[in-house]
Amino acid sequence: MSNKLSGNILWESSRMMLPEHKEAINRFNQSLQIRKRAQLDEQEQELINRALQQSLRHRIALTIHMYDPYEQLSIIGVVDRIDKQLQRFMVDGEWFCLAEVVRVEFE
Amino acid sequence: MQRVVMLADCQSFYATVEKVAHPEYANRPVVVAGDPERRSGIVLAACPIAKSFGVTTAETLGEALAKCPQLVVIRPRMQEYIKVSLHITSIYNSFTDLVEPYSIDEQFLDVTGSLHLYGGDVQALAQAIQHEVKLMTGVYIRIGIGSNKVLAKMACDNYAKKNRSGIYMLQQDDLRNTLWSLPVSSMFMVGRRMTRHLNRIGVHTIGELANTPLAVLRRRWGVNGEVLWRFANGIDFSPVSPSTHQTQKQIGHHMTLPRDYVSLQELKVPLQELSDLVCQRARAKGYMGTTVAVTCRGANFDYPTGFHRQLKLEEATYVSTVVFQTVMKLFHQHWDGLPVRSIGVSLAGLVSDQIVQLSLFNQSEKQLALERTTDLIKARYGETAIMRAVSITDPGQARDRANKIGGHYK
């Protein structure tokens, strides 16, 4: 049931909100949810590189966690190619940026 | 478990923000007032010094100046007030994650979970919040406290705004000695008209309202009667909901015209502009609407006229021309021909634009492409970079409106 006696409806219908204010609130809340990029140390970086190389050479499936400002993003599959020049790698025909890799797990 | 809810209200919000921005006016009476040239030339906020001269909000600038000739008049800067309001929200957020803005200068806080950090001392917590906001923004806040939203609101309006500390707690079990002795007119949601109705059935104080049998109130006013009864008894189960502003139910715009418009020819222009604006926002948000509503208010206050009508479309849309056609259809049907003071257009029944039924017969694809292009131009070069030719005729409001928020200057 949804009328004035339930939920937050009474307060939602009585308030005075400028649409611009409302939008600013939502934008602000969204900005709080932006994830920070993890800082990797050299050893961590080394582990990631080695895992990608192994996957490429021995066709081992990996779960590769990537950085994304809003959502949790991971790639599951075998690395098909690594392009050192452009700093990218390919899984299942799609190119991804090497610098965005945060963590790698073996399947 | 007993909740602890606060309503924090900013004293003379706009005026205080301006006083902080202009320290040279610190000891002078300051008001923020809309444009004196237009109807919006009224006092939006008066600082405590100006109030001591008898200046009140919502009176005209002329009346205020008559009471206090040395008044400092400042134009509103709505964007700035929104920014400060958000800053205050983030300060509240450092005390509790349950913060719900209720208006630009009032916000609800549910501090139930933060109280243990202050040894369970509500007063200490309220003082800490008050102090922090004053320090960071210069704004003095008054805090009403209760076990739910309505008690917090009434504690703030009736007590915290009037006492020295600016903090007051209404106890649910002690209403008999506090709230109940006040006249019904000081209750939240009871206006002038409701006061008259209640007085007529012999209810003069909040206590009398609280002790009126619920059945009597329900019979007379239905759900609204029950709401009044609950509020008088300090009952309210609504949550403090921080995400309340995320859901979008409708997209609408409303404007008060600079003068009374009398002909359909004149009215057509701002109606077109409002339809454009509503659809532009709908497109930006990725929502299409199925119901178009028009509001119109007549110019004569003593003889109120006007209407609010809506029409359901066959399919969801955000094409301005389609919405405008519907708006004009409604206007043709329901407008009585009397002068009009304010108009509004809104689009409801929102659905995502990600899934669309294509139609063989309607030709709005081309129109939509055109409108999307103007959206892009506006986003890049400003709202007035491209507009309809009618907007530069006399009844047009688009140029003026682009500089405003809530009818006042950005």
Q: Is residue A3 predicted with pLDDT exceeding 80? A: no
Q: Give the model's pLDDT for residue A16.
A: 84
How many angstroms from the chain centroid is the CA of residue B63?
A: 25
Q: With helix as H, strand as E and coil as C, how does A25-38 read? A: HHHHHHHHCCCCCC
Q: Return the CATH number of the domain spanning residue range B13-78.
A: 3.40.1170.60
Whether residue A17 and residue B103 make contact (CB cut-off 8 A), yes or no, is yes
Q: Is residue B65 predicted with pLDDT exceeding 90? A: no
Residues 6+ apart with CB under 8 A from B164: none
Distance from CA of A43 to the nearest CA of B (A): 36
- The CA-atom distances, in angstroms, between A40 and each of A85, A105, B410 are 21, 15, 44
Q: Is residue B165 predicted with pLDDT exceeding 60? A: yes
Average pLDDT rounded to a whole number, residues B228-235: 94
Give tens-digit pLDDT for B298-337. Answer: 887 677 788 889 999 988 899 999 999 999 999 999 998 8
Q: Give the model's pLDDT for residue B39.
A: 57
Q: B107, B85, B83: which is closest to B97 by C-alpha? A: B107
Give tens-digit pLDDT for B81-114. Answer: 999 999 999 999 999 999 999 999 999 999 999 9
For CATH 3.40.1170.60, the residue range(s) in chain B are 13-78
Give tens-digit pLDDT for A18-47. Answer: 878 988 898 888 887 788 888 889 999 999
Q: A84-93, B37-46, B60-69, B224-233 — which is least confidently predicted?
A: B37-46
Q: Is residue B363 predicted with pLDDT exceeding 80? A: no
pTM of the complete model: 0.75
Q: Is residue A1 predicted with pLDDT exceeding 50? A: no
Give B243's DSSP letter. Answer: G
Average pLDDT rounded to a whole number, residues B394-406: 80
Distance from CA of A19 to the nearest CA of B (A): 8
Chain B residues with beta carbon closer than 8 angstroms to that of A2: none
Q: At A33, list the tokens.
A: 């949810």
Superfamily for the B176-232 domain: 5' to 3' exonuclease, C-terminal subdomain (1.10.150.20)
Q: Is residue B244 predicted with pLDDT exceeding 90? A: no
Give tens-digit pLDDT for B255-278. Answer: 888 888 999 899 999 999 999 999
Yes or no: say if B38 and B409 are a contact pair by the CB < 8 Å rule.
no
For CATH 3.30.1490.100, the residue range(s) in chain B are 248-409
| Length of chain B measured in residues | 410
Q: Is residue B46 predicted with pLDDT exceeding 60? A: yes
Residue pointed to by tokens 């903090």: B167
Listed in order, strand segments (DSSP E) in B120-165 are 141-146
Maximum pairwise Cα distance, chain A: 65
For B223, which of A4, A17, A25 is closest by C-beta distance?
A4
Q: B146, B148, B113: which is closest to B237 by C-alpha? A: B148
Residues paired with residue B101 on neighbouring β-strands, in sequence order? B107
For B86, which of A9, A18, A24 is closest by C-beta distance?
A24
Residue positions of B in the annotated binding site for Mg(2+)?
A: 9, 105
How many angstroms from the chain centroid is the CA of residue B379?
A: 26
Tell me the CB-side half-sphere exposure of residue B223, using CA atoms within 13 A.
Answer: 8
Query: Quick one: closest CA in B to A10, which residue?
Result: B238
Classify strands A73-77 and A62-66 as parallel, antiparallel or unpaired. antiparallel
Q: Give the model's pLDDT for residue B271.
A: 93
Average pLDDT rounded to a whole number, residues A44-60: 93
The yes or no reply on domain B248-409 and CATH 3.30.1490.100 is yes
Yes or no: say if B283 and B371 are a contact pair by the CB < 8 Å rule.
yes
For B82, which of A3, A24, A26 is closest by C-beta distance?
A24
Chain A residues with beta carbon closer than 8 angstroms to that of B224: 4
Q: CA-CA-CA-CA torsion for B180, B185, B187, B188, nearest 10 degrees?
A: 180
Distance from CA of A69 to the nearest CA of B (A): 20
Residue B106 is among the residues annotated as catalytic for this protein = yes
Please provide the average confidence, as pLDDT, over all residues in chain B. Answer: 90
Q: Provide the ipTM.
A: 0.73
Q: Give the model's pLDDT for residue B150.
A: 95
Residues 24-63 of A with CB under 8 A from B: 24-26, 28-29
Give B159's DSSP letter. Answer: I
Distance from CA of B97 to the nearest CA of A (A): 11
Q: What band does B38 get if pLDDT is binned at 50, 70 and 90?
A: low
Give A40's DSSP letter. Answer: P
Q: Give the model's pLDDT for residue B36.
A: 61
Q: Give the model's pLDDT for residue A34.
A: 83
Q: At B390, list the tokens.
A: 């009618």
Catalytic residue among B106, B266, B273, B371: B106
How many angstroms from the chain centroid is the CA of residue A89?
A: 17
Q: What band does A2 get if pLDDT is binned at 50, 70 and 90?
A: low
Average pLDDT rounded to a whole number, residues A51-73: 92
Q: Calculate helix-pair angle for B78-93, B13-21, nearest 10 degrees.
A: 100
Chain B residues with beta carbon closer than 8 angstroms to that of A24: 82-83, 86
Whether residue A5 and residue B230 make contact (CB cut-off 8 A), yes or no, is yes
Q: Which CATH architecture has domain A42-106?
A: Roll (2.30)
| Residue A12 at interface with chain B, using a CB cutoff of 8 Å | yes
Q: Is residue B245 predicted with pLDDT exceeding 90? A: no
For CATH 1.10.150.20, the residue range(s) in chain B are 176-232
d(CA A24, CA B410): 14
Maximum pairwise Cα distance, chain B: 70
Yes or no: say if B18 and B74 are a contact pair by the CB < 8 Å rule.
yes
Q: Where are the domains of chain A?
A: 42-106
Beta-carbon pairs below 8 A across chains A and B: 67
